[in-house]
Amino acid sequence: MTVIHEINTLVWLGELGRRHSRPVTLADVPGEAWDSVARPGVDTVWLMGVWERSPAGLEIALRDEGLMASFRDALPDATEADIAGSPYCVRNYVVDAALGGPEGLAEARTQLAARGLRLILDYVPNHVAPDHPWLTSDPDRLVRGTADDLARAPGDFIEAGGQVGAQVYARGRDPYFPPWPDVVQLNAFSEALREATVETLVSIGDQADGVRCDMAMLLMNDIFGKTWGDRAGTAPAEDFWPHVIPRVRARHPGLLFVAEAYWDLESALQQQGFDHCYDKRLYDRLLHENADSVRAHLGADLTYQRGLVRFLENHDEPRAAATLPGARGRAAAVTVATLPGATLWHEGQVEGRRVRPPVFLRRGPQEPVDEQSREFYGRLLPAAAAVRRGDWRQLTPTGWPDNDTHRNLLAWTWTHTDARHLIVVNDSDRPAQARVPLPWDDLRGRERRATDLLTGATYDRDGDELTDSGLFVSLDAWGFHVLKW
C-alpha cells in the first residue's frame, strides 16, 4: 500500500546546504540524505514545489500584508531573501534551475528508484501564475474579465498578459473563499485547456511516477459551473478528469494519480479516475470528534477506503505535534498508519516539529528534534508496513453494564496467510476497557501468544476464552496495541 513522504524541496535543500556548507541541488544531494528520506515503510516520495515559481507572483506576495505577517509568525527573522513565492503559483512546468533543473530531478528520481522509492510531483490544474506564457499565447484557456470587472472588483480580477495589449483575467479561487491574489484562473470548460492539461501531465509522467493534483475537485463540471457561471461558457458533456486521465494513462499507464480533495467528493473523484484522494474527514474526526465518529467513518466501503490518503499533517495543515501533542498524537498516528489506503507523512513530522513554514518560504525555523517522537515513528512505520497485508476488518469492542468506556476504543484486524494482527487504540483522554471479538475461528484448544510490535511486550491468552469472550483489553488514555498473533 502506498506510503508517501512529503518533502518541501526548497526548504530541505537549503537545510542540506547549510549542513554541508555548500549549495545543494537535486543533482548532488548526499547519499546519506537520500537514505534518510527512504525511511523503512515508505515507498513514495513527494518532492513538493519543484516547478518554476513566478517572479510576478512573488512581487504580489511581497506586497500582501497578510501573507507577510504569516511569514514572520513562522520565521520571526525572515527577510525578503527568505521569500521565494508560492510553489502553487507556477510559471512553467519546468524544474526550477535553482533546484537543479530537469537534469537534477532526473538524478533525484534515479537515486530514489535505487532505494525502491517512487517519485510524485505536483500539478496545479485550477490556476497559473500571472506571468505564465498562456496569458499571451493562449488566453482562451483562462477565465477572462473586462476593464469594468477590474474597476468594480480589483480583488477578484487582475490585469496581466504583457506590456502591450494586457488583458483582464479572473484571479484563481475556490467558491468558499476570496480569490488567491497571486494566480489566474484556468477555464476547465475550455477544450484547449483540457488538451494542454493532458500534455502537461504527460510531461510530468515523463519525469515522475505519480502526480498530486492540487484542489482537484474545483475542475469538476458541476463545481466549476457553480463557481464561474456564464464566464466559463457551456460545460462539455464529458467531465474534466474523465477526459484528462485516460488520455494521460494512454501514454503512462502506471502513473499514480492523487487528488487533494474536500467537500465529500472523494468517491466521485475516485470514480473519475483518481487512485487516491485526501481523507480530510478522518483528519477532522481525529482532531475534533470522538471514537464513535471515527468508527462510523471506517464503516465505509472497503474499496473506497483503499482509495483514500490518511494523514495527520501536510503543508496545508498545522503540525501534528502542535495540534495533537504527546500521547494523543501517537494514538492518532497508530490509527492512520494501520488503516487501509495510502498514508502521508510530512517532512519534520517524525522529528516532532511544531512550526509549519508557509510554502512561500525557502527557509524554515530551527527546531530541536523530539527524540521521543523520532524513536516512536522509527518503530511505527516499519511495523505498519508489516501489518497492512491481507484482509482488513473493523471490529466492535463490547463492554458491560457498569462500564461504557469500550465506546472509546477503535479496533481492527489484518489477516494474511502468514500473519495475523490486531490493532486497538483508545481514542480518548481517560482509561478504557473492553472485550474485543476476534474474527479467527481456529483459536480453540491451546494457549495463544500476542506480541506488541511497538513495545515488544508479550501476552499469553487462552484460545477458548478468546473465541468465546474475545480479548480483554485495558488501555490508558490514548493508549494502543499493535499485536501480532
Domains of the chain: 3-128+185-387 (3.20.20.80), 129-184 (no CATH), 391-484 (2.60.40.1180)
Exposure on the CB side of residue 352, measured as CA atoms within 13 A:
16
* Surface-to-core class of residue 299, CB atoms within 10 Å of its CB (0-12 exposed, 13-18 middle, 19+ buried): exposed
Exposure on the CB side of residue 302, measured as CA atoms within 13 A:
9
Check: CB of residue 75 under 8 Å from CB of residue 361. yes
Q: Is residue 438 helix, strand or coil?
A: coil
Please enumerate, as own/partner, the contacts of 158-167 that have beta carbons within 8 Å and a separation of 24 or more: 158/130, 158/184, 160/56, 160/130, 160/131, 160/135, 160/184, 161/135, 161/136, 162/135, 162/136, 167/135, 167/139
d(CA 209, CA 167): 37
d(CA 436, CA 139): 61
Residue type, 82: D
Residue 166: per-residue pLDDT: 77
pLDDT tens digits in sequence order for the chain, 485 residues long: 899 999 999 999 999 999 999 999 999 999 999 999 998 999 999 999 999 999 999 999 999 999 999 999 999 999 999 999 999 999 999 999 999 999 999 999 999 999 999 999 999 999 999 999 999 999 999 999 999 999 999 999 999 865 556 799 999 999 999 999 999 999 999 999 999 999 999 999 999 999 999 999 999 999 999 999 999 999 999 999 999 999 999 999 999 999 999 999 999 999 999 999 999 999 999 999 999 999 999 999 999 999 999 999 999 999 999 999 999 999 999 999 999 999 999 999 999 999 999 999 999 999 999 999 999 999 999 999 999 999 999 999 999 999 999 999 999 999 999 999 999 999 999 999 999 999 999 999 999 999 999 999 999 999 999 999 999 999 999 999 999 99
Largest CA distance in the chain: 86
CA 390 to chain centroid: 24
d(CA 388, CA 231): 47
- Kind of pairing, strands 44-48 and 118-123? parallel
Residue 451: per-residue pLDDT: 98
Cell numbers standing for residue 472? 480483554
Residue 164: per-residue pLDDT: 54
